[in-house]
């Protein structure tokens, strides 16, 4: 155990030092992965580096990322995303927090399409950040809601993480998908609740609310929402009618967005190329970090730290609640280094038996794990939603992390809620898949 | 030399964008093929296009300031300290990406030597798509070295000059979108914005 | 000596249990001096990356699924032709016939095959009961290779290609209706969530192989080499036993989960025999003369 602590400290120190000194995130991850393998294992780092980076860069599930980012670019460059906000504004004018809720709802809808949190945050963020800024909303709340709600991409089906967990632990993926729905709603409500409370306390930080419209005016104004609604129906519909897989649906989103831009006469060769190049740069930035993170993850796997940590907890013989607290703390620490899928793969098969011994349901644990992984997306230094939003907003990683912190705490509250009433997770799958 | 390098980064960026578009094209082909009951698999080729797009785009993305790093301390530093930090970060990046390029060369050579084929229905010799990774890593290594030299010579780093983001203060995003109509909400928006800022 | 081993299957999968037994044998035969540390379930290297990982000595030993590499040499997928080597005895005979070829083939890659273990027989997961070939009509089946595509089409399925990870979703949304695979894979993806019937065909046992890095092996002291080879022999035998037992157990698991398990109707089996002939001819066209010799030697022995 002592040796493990030294390894953790060395790696964590190197990670922080490199990041703080301005080395690019992806490069830093590669260096730390290299240190892990070269210094603490007998394996050859060079071949492992090349192969790992290669294997993770041509992952089919990842192809949805650039496509959805592209869709967002097209919508932003046409008038469509602007129209969406104009259409929604009157309907939300009574709700404290107003258009900030669009981030949360938008991410939830996007989450029903995309299986990853980076995609969700990137697509919605690309459209909403400029609009919210234009309208004078608090920057830290705009970023925070996006960072937090963007993680819902993992909890609301379809979800790459649930598939990973299901296959690693031999649990039903269909059950997990259904089980994610209510917890998803719980977390969405908690996020919205936080936004409401925040904006009631900080009235001075909200832009003035001067929309006075009759119901009919609102309705007429909502015609602007039609194109976006058509697009959403098209993308979600293509998945749930079995026309396309979730990955393929991304392409339908791109085609749909191009079609709408063309209909609204904002599609020019220039805007098409600008959008394509912009999408390429954003997705290049993200996938480069994913490649770096994959190498760090395999470095961690070779050192055996995650497994050792889980084994250590098992040895403590804790009560159910203490076990959950302990696991959550460990996952928060691991979440600083690792991206989501690696966290699940490296720990799930060790943690699950403990959980079952403590009398908890494996599906429940799956959902818990997904939420913990969601939290890791917004904790520095390695948090993908932070990276995505830094790329989108140009604000510093730590600034975004601070904006996202309240939402991190809200997710912890979400875990407490689900641990207190585990039925929230298991009720729906038991009802719908009664065998 | 300067023109040659800039053209190199830009061309590889265009190539990356092309491969991104190819993902969409391949997926459309796959969905259409399924619809008409023809077998066409884009899972692998789509993945290869993604890899090519990622790596070939690296240098261009760097030059446009889109690769991210923690800038909290960098922005506070001035003068010689700032220069030292930039030299350190570009220097580390040059060495690391050079190492990755070297490792990738070895990998591509082995894939070629062992005649490894992709497992899917296309049976692509795996060294061909891997070449995209090698090429992209080599170009970004050059780009980092290029930045290192520029900074050493006292010039501004290119990656700081052009960064364009959704929250950038010149409001370039709203300038890019089509002109707003002066009815209802659009004018109201401008009002709301005017008051807030 | 201490080696690292990578495998891509869950801990209670019979392949992984066999690996643990192999490791125990090695340790015992070497008097406790030769230890192998197993990382199962893809925790170290993902299944499809293990061959390369062993080749470049990232790990010294690992388990691979031969069928993945069928594009490189048809020998890898000879065992996926239905009714060529049905039943565990014929599957063993086929493995023996393939062995010298495999040894040479892996040697060129810097590898050494240590042991083989067969997957269980295969069958169709479908939503509706299968009573005749008619029942396949209009059903969409997932295929993943030219061979499976051809087989699916000849059975009357509409076929579609899908990556493994998208299968559960594809079932749920109706993108596919049928899957031809082993009971184990069905259990891995909890096939009972989406299908009601498992129609057992048997017919073929594809193989996994445990491979060893040749240079790492050469560096072992002689006693350890002997221990490893002996443990490998035992592992192959045990693999066959485990698989046969697992087939029965797993069919029971499917029944316990509420699936209707029954043998394929005569008509389907007859059609599969016809398909077998076609696939063998296709295989001959793609294979090298040395590979064809292996097939002929096997067929002559039967
Ligand atoms: Na999702
Ligand atoms: Na994190």
Cβ-contact C162, C176 below 8 angstroms: yes
Q: Is C282 on the interface with B (CB under 8 A)?
A: no
Question: Which residues touch A276 (CB under 8 Å, ≥6 apart)?
Answer: A70, A73, B17, B20, B21
pTM as predicted: 0.87
Between B179 and B118, name the one with better pLDDT: B118
Assign A342 a pLDDT band (cuts: 50, 70, 90).
Answer: confident
Residues 3-62 in C contacting B (C-alpha not used; CB under 8 Å): 48, 52, 55-56
* pLDDT class of A168 with cuts at 50, 70, 90: confident
**Nearest-CB residue to B117 (from C71, C144, C161):** C71
B132 part of a folded domain: yes
Whole-angstrom CA distances from A168 to A289, A331, C13 are: 24, 17, 11
pLDDT at B176 > cutoff 70? no
Residue A193 CA to ligand 1 centre (angstroms): 22
* CA atoms of B28 and B35, how far apart (whole Å): 10
How many domains does chain A divide into? 1
Evaluate whether residue A43 is within a structural domain: no
- Between A426 and A82, whose confidence is greater? A426
How distant, in Å, are the alpha carbons of A57, C17, C64, C120, C256 from that of C241?
39, 12, 19, 11, 23
Q: Taking CA A313 as the corner, what is the angle to CA A312 and CA A315, rounded to the nearest 5 degrees?
A: 65
What's the pLDDT at C261? 95
With a CB-CB cutoff of 8 Å, which residues 27-46 of chain A face chain B?
Answer: 27, 30-31, 34, 46
In this structure, is residue B72 part of a structural domain? no
pLDDT for position B168: 54
| A434 chain-C contacts, CB cut-off 8 A | none
Name the minimum distance, in Å, from the CA of C300 to any CA of chain B: 31
What residue numbers bound the domain in which B117 lies? Answer: 80-155
What percentage of chain A has pLDDT greater than the value 70? 99
Write out pLDDT tens, residues B128-144. Answer: 999 999 999 999 999 99
Query: How far apart are the C-alpha atoms of C227 and A83, rounded to whole Å?
Result: 72
Number of domains in chain B: 1
- Answer yes or no: is the ipTM higher than 0.85: yes
Question: Residue B166: its pLDDT value, please?
Answer: 58
- Flag whether pLDDT at A324 surpasses 50: yes
> Per-residue confidence at B194, pLDDT binned at 50, 70, 90?
very low
Mean pLDDT check: name the lowest of A182-196, A231-245, C66-80: A231-245
Q: Predicted confidence band at B193 (pLDDT cuts at 50, 70, 90)?
A: very low
Query: Sorting pLDDT into bands at 50, 70 and 90, what band is B117?
Result: very high
A9-23, A153-167, A280-294, B173-187: least confident range: B173-187
pLDDT at B174 over 60: no
Cα distance between residue C275 and residue C287, in whole Å = 18
pLDDT (0 to 100) of residue A28:
93
Do B188 and A26 count as a contact with CB atoms less than 8 A apart?
A: no
Mean pLDDT, rounded, for C13-40: 94
**pLDDT recorded at residue B167:** 62
Tokens of A247: 């990955």
Q: How confident is the model at residue A435 (pLDDT cuts 50, 70, 90)?
A: very low
Tokens of C117: 């273990």
> Average model confidence (pLDDT) for chain B?
82
- The mean pLDDT of A130-135, rounded to a whole number, is 87
Beta strands of A281-379 (E only): which ranges? Answer: none
The pLDDT value given to residue B95? 98
**Residue C198 banded pLDDT, cuts 50, 70, 90:** very high
Confidence of residue A110 (pLDDT cuts 50, 70, 90): confident
User: Which helix or strand (DSSP H or E) is residue C177 part of?
Assistant: none
Per-residue pLDDT at C279: 95
Would A365 be classed as within a structural domain?
A: yes
Residue C238 pLDDT > 80: yes
Which of A293-307, C159-173, C252-266: highest mean pLDDT? C252-266
How far apart (Å, rounded) are the C-alpha atoms in residues A373 and A332? 8
pLDDT for the residue numbered C134: 92
How confident is residue C115, by pLDDT bands cut at 50, 70 and 90? very high
Residue window 159-178, chain B: list those with CB within 8 Å of chain A. 163, 165-168, 171, 173-174, 176-178
Q: Across the interface, which of C72, C146, C161 has its CB nearest the CB of B115?
A: C72
Task: Indicate whether B186 pLDDT > 70.
Answer: no
pLDDT tens by residue, B14-65: 999 999 999 999 999 988 888 887 778 888 999 999 999 999 999 999 999 8
Which candidate, C237, C107, B22, C273, places its Cα nearest to that of A280?
B22
**Chain C contact present for B105, CB below 8 A:** no
Residue A376 lies in a domain: yes
The pocket of ion ligand 1, defined by CB under 5 A, consists of A 111, 115, 153, 156, 159
> Closest Cα partner for A168 from C250, C227, C189?
C189
Q: What pLDDT sits at residue C160?
A: 86
Give residue-wise pLDDT tens across range A4-22.
Answer: 888 888 988 998 899 889 8
Question: Is B27 an 8 Å CB contact of chain C?
Answer: no
Per-residue pLDDT for B104 more than 90?
A: yes
Per-residue pLDDT of A249-308, as tens digits, reads 889 989 999 998 898 888 899 999 999 999 999 889 888 988 988 898 888 888 888 778
The two three-digit tokens of residue C267, written as one number: 């008509």
**By CB neighbour count within 10 A (0-12 exposed, 13-18 middle, 19+ buried), where does A431 fall?**
exposed
Statement: residue A415 has pLDDT above 90: yes
Mean pLDDT of B150-158: 86
- The pLDDT, as a whole number, for residue B26 is 94
> Hey, of B27, B38, B42, B43, which one would you mutate to test binding to chain C, going by the most C CBs within 10 A of its CB?
B43
Question: Which pLDDT score, from 0 to 100, does residue C256 have?
Answer: 94
pLDDT of residue B163: 52
Q: Is residue B21 part of a domain?
A: no
C-alpha–C-alpha distance, residues C180 and C198, integer Å: 9
Say if residue B173's pLDDT is above 60: no
Residue B192 pLDDT grade (very low, low, confident, very high; cuts 50, 70, 90): very low
**Are A7 and A303 a contacting pair, CB within 8 Å?**
yes
List CB contacts (< 8 A) between A254 and chain B: 24
Whether residue C65 has pLDDT greater than 50: yes
Q: What is the pLDDT of residue A346?
A: 77
What 8-state DSSP symbol labels residue B157?
P
pLDDT of the residue at A370: 92
Query: Which range, A133-137, B95-99, B173-177, has the best average confidence (pLDDT)?
Result: B95-99
Does A301 contact C188 at a Cβ distance shorter than 8 Å? no
The CA-CA-CA angle for residues B130, A70, A145, to 5°, reads 115
Q: What is the mean pLDDT of residues C79-84?
A: 92
The three-state (H, E, C) secondary structure of C258-274, written as one string: CCEEEECCHHHHHHHHH
- Which of C55, C70, C158 lies nearest to residue B37, judging by beta carbons? C158
Residue ranges making up the domain that contains A201? 60-433
* Cα C78–Cα C82–Cα C85 angle in degrees, nearest 5: 65
- pLDDT higher than threshold 50 for residue B66: yes
| C184 to chain A: closest CA residue | A170
Segment A302-325 shows an average pLDDT of 83
User: Does the pLDDT value for residue C171 go beyond 70?
Assistant: yes
Instruction: Please choose, from the candidates A135, A137, A140, the residue with its C-alpha nearest in 3D space to the C-alpha of residue A204.
Output: A137
């Amino acid at each position: 155990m002592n040796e493990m602590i030294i390894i953790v400290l060395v790696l964590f120190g190197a990670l922080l030092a490199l990041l703080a000194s301005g080395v690019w995130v992806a490069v830093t991850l590669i260096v730390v992965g290299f240190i892990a393998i070269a210094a603490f294992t007998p394996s050859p780092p060079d071949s492992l580096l090349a192969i790992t980076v290669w294997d993770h860069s041509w992952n089919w599930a990842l192809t949805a990322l650039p496509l959805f980012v592209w869709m967002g670019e097209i919508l932003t460059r046409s008038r469509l995303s602007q129209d969406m906000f104009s259409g929604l504004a009157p309907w939300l004018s009574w709700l404290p927090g107003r258009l900030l809720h669009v981030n949360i709802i938008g991410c939830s809808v996007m989450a029903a399409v995309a299986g990853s949190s980076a995609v969700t945050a990137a697509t919605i963020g690309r459209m909403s950040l400029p609009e919210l800024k234009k309208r004078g909303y608090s920057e830290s709340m705009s970023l925070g809601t996006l960072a937090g709600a963007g993680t819902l991409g993992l909890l609301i089906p379809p979800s790459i993480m649930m598939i990973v967990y299901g296959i690693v632990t031999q649990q039903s993926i269909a059950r997990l998908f259904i089980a994610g729905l209510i917890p998803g709603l719980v977390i969405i409500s908690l996020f919205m609740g936080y936004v409401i409370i925040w904006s009631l306390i900080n009235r001075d930080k909200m832009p003035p609310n001067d929309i006075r419209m009759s119901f009919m005016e609102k309705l007429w104004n909502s015609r602007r929402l039609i194109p976006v609604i058509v697009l959403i129906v098209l993308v979600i519909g293509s998945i749930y009618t079995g026309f396309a897989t979730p990955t393929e649906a991304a392409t339908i989103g791109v085609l749909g967005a191009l079609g709408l831009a063309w209909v609204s006469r904002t599609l020019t060769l220039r805007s098409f190329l600008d959008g394509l190049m912009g999408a390429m740069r954003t997705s290049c930035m993200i996938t480069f970090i994913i490649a770096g993170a994959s190498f760090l993850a395999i470095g961690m796997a070779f050192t055996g730290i995650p497994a050792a940590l889980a084994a250590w907890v098992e040895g403590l013989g804790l009560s159910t609640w203490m076990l959950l607290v302990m696991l959550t703390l460990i996952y928060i620490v691991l979440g600083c280094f690792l991206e989501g899928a690696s966290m699940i793969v490296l720990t799930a098969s060790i943690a699950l038996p403990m959980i079952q011994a403590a009398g908890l349901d494996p599906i429940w644990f799956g959902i818990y794990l997904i939420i913990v992984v969601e939290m890791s997306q917004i904790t520095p230094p390695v948090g993908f939603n932070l990276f995505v939003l830094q790329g989108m907003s140009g604000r510093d990683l730590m600034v975004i992390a601070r904006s996202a912190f309240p939402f991190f705490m809200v997710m912890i509250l979400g875990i407490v809620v689900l641990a207190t009433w585990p039925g929230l997770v298991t009720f729906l799958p038991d009802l719908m898949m009664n065998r | 030399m300067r023109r040659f390098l800039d053209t190199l980064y830009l061309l590889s960026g265009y190539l990356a964008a092309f491969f991104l578009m190819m993902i969409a094209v391949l997926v459309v082909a796959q969905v259409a093929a399924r619809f008409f009951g023809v077998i066409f698999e884009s899972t692998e080729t789509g993945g290869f296009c993604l890899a090519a797009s990622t790596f070939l785009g690296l240098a261009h993305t760097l030059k446009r300031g889109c690769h991210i790093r923690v800038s909290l301390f960098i922005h506070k530093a001035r003068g010689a300290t700032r220069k030292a930090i930039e030299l350190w970060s570009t220097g580390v990046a040059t060495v690391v990406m050079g190492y990755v390029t070297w490792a990738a060369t070895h990998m591509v050579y082995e894939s070629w030597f062992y005649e490894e084929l992709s497992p899917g229905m296309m049976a692509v010799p795996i060294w061909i798509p891997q070449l995209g990774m090698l090429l992209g890593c080599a170009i970004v290594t050059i780009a980092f070295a290029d930045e290192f030299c520029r900074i050493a010579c006292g010039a501004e780093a290119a990656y700081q000059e052009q960064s364009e983001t959704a929250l950038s203060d010149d409001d370039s995003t709203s300038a890019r979108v089509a002109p707003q109509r002066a009815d209802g909400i659009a004018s109201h928006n401008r009002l709301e914005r005017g008051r807030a800022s | 000596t201490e080696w690292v081993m990578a495998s891509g299957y869950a801990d209670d999968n019979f392949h992984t249990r066999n690996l643990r037994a192999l490791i125990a044998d090695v340790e015992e035969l070497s008097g406790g001096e030769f230890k192998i540390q197993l990382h199962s379930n893809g925790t170290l290297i993902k299944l499809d990356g293990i061959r390369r990982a062993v080749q470049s000595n990232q790990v010294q030993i690992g388990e691979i699924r031969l069928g993945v590499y069928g594009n490189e040499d048809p020998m890898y997928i000879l065992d996926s032709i239905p009714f060529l080597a049905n039943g565990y005895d014929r599957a063993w005979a086929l493995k023996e016939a393939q062995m010298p070829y495999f040894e040479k083939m892996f040697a060129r890659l810097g590898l050494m095959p240590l042991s083989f273990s067969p997957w269980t027989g295969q069958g169709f997961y479908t939503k509706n009961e299968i009573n005749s070939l008619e029942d396949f009509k209009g059903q969409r089946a997932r295929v993943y290779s030219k061979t499976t595509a051809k087989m699916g089409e000849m059975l009357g399925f509409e076929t579609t290609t899908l990556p493994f990870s998208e299968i559960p979703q594809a079932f749920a949304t109706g993108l596919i209706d049928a899957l031809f695979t082993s009971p184990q894979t069905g259990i891995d993806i909890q096939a009972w969530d989406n299908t009601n019937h498992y129609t057992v065909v048997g017919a073929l046992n594809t193989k996994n192989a445990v491979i060893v890095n040749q240079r790492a092996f050469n560096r072992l002291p002689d006693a350890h080499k002997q221990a490893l080879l002996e443990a490998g022999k035992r592992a192959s035998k045990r693999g066959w036993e485990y698989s046969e037992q697992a087939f029965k157990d797993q069919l029971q698991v499917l029944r316990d989960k509420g699936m209707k398990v029954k043998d394929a109707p005569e008509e389907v089996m007859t059609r599969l025999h016809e398909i077998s002939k076609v696939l063998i001819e296709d295989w001959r066209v793609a294979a090298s003369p040395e590979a064809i010799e292996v097939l002929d030697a096997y067929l002559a022995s039967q």
